[in-house]
A = this chain, B = another copy of it.
């Protein structure tokens, strides 16, 4: 039984095709959809659609679903399509006519967006916490090795003296900028969709402002914009995550190269390395290679929502439903990768001796030119004089 069930039966192949894996993805939306439904029920009560007792019954059942889900006992069936149907079916089974009233003054279109945004806000906050934690660990790493210098590279060639402090600070500052973007994004999507129906409002007086307050959204969103922002908001969310992953990609690239025995500025303990099925001597930085590679998965998620939603007229299209998986995937990857990079910096060792011995003479060529500058030679002439030595 579907929310839109009609007198005819949907072709089985079409049903399988259209449901896809929504019932699996939606599992993580159940608690958010219940929370949104509680607020919605209160608004329906305020509008006179639900009676006091009906509201109580609905709230009780929704809380019970939240409890069941937490214990892994509320599972969406494939034929139910999504969490919305599963929840309404549960309410109707438990409460009869009362359950049949819950979908008043909303459509699945605004309902799913409400649940998604509550989920996004939680996840963005989680990413923020994990990024802050990484910064904390980077700061400890920085302090521990605050006296260490090692070569700075440009064009993958020794350039000028660098240091652990300079290197670590660059990532701390960059991660702080990422956090600002996460906050901006969280603020951007903080708009209440509930009560906008399928994109053209509801032919019934309800107090959207009341629902908004109950759910903690900052503003009300225009009904058509609710639908048109689907994919657009996801695109900004994933872009924000991609910025974090970009930094992790670079850190991983640095450590992969600088833990090579040929450099050995850094060392990764055995417990973080994997081996080869054929070569008995190998200790490989798989963990860092996967950090590096996962940036591209997040990019492909961003790319997908950005192109899938283009060249379409205003209003909901089923295409938009496929924007559900990419942000979920991007969140999972970003959070796990932030955690693993934190672990890496808790275990990364600096080989001070190798760092020191790598501080070879050419790294100071610029300094030599500046010594001439200090004595009055114009820089461009000083540069030419020193360059003849190389």
Nearest chain B residue, comparing its CB with the CB of A202: B370
Contact B243 A236 (CB under 8 A): yes
- Distance in Å from the Cβ of A217 to the closest Cβ of chain B? 14
**Binary CB contact string for chain A from 217 to 255 against chain B (1 if under 8 A, 0 otherwise):** 000011111011100100110010011001101100110
- Tell me, yes or no, whether A80 is within 8 Å of chain B by CB: no
Contact B306 A103 (CB under 8 A): no
- Tell me, yes or no, whether A257 is within 8 Å of chain B by CB: yes
Contact A296 B304 (CB under 8 A): yes
Complex Cα distance, B14 from A95, in Å, reads: 47
Contact B293 A322 (CB under 8 A): yes
Contact A203 B283 (CB under 8 A): no
Q: Which of A20, A88, A204 is packed against the most chain B CB atoms within 10 Å?
A: A204
Contact A282 B318 (CB under 8 A): no
Contact A229 B174 (CB under 8 A): yes
- Tell me, yes or no, whether A285 is within 8 Å of chain B by CB: yes
**Binary CB contact string for chain A from 364 to 390 against chain B (1 if under 8 A, 0 otherwise):** 011111100110001111011111111
Q: Which chain B positions have C-beta within 8 A of A384?
A: 5, 280
Is the contact region of chain A dominated by helix, strand, or loop, or is it mixed? helix
Contact A84 B260 (CB under 8 A): no
Q: Which of A256, A370, A378 is packed against the most chain B CB atoms within 10 Å?
A: A378
Extra pairs beyond A108-B278, A281-B386 (9, CB < 8 Å) = A3-B277, A154-B315, A155-B289, A155-B316, A156-B285, A160-B199, A180-B184, A232-B243, A235-B243
Q: Which chain B positions have C-beta within 8 A of A261?
A: 157-158
- Given A257-B313, A312-B311, check contact A271 B6 (CB 8 Å): no
Q: Which chain B positions have C-beta within 8 A of A289?
A: 155, 317-319
**Binary CB contact string for chain A from 77 to 117 against chain B (1 if under 8 A, 0 otherwise):** 00000001000100010000111111110111101000000
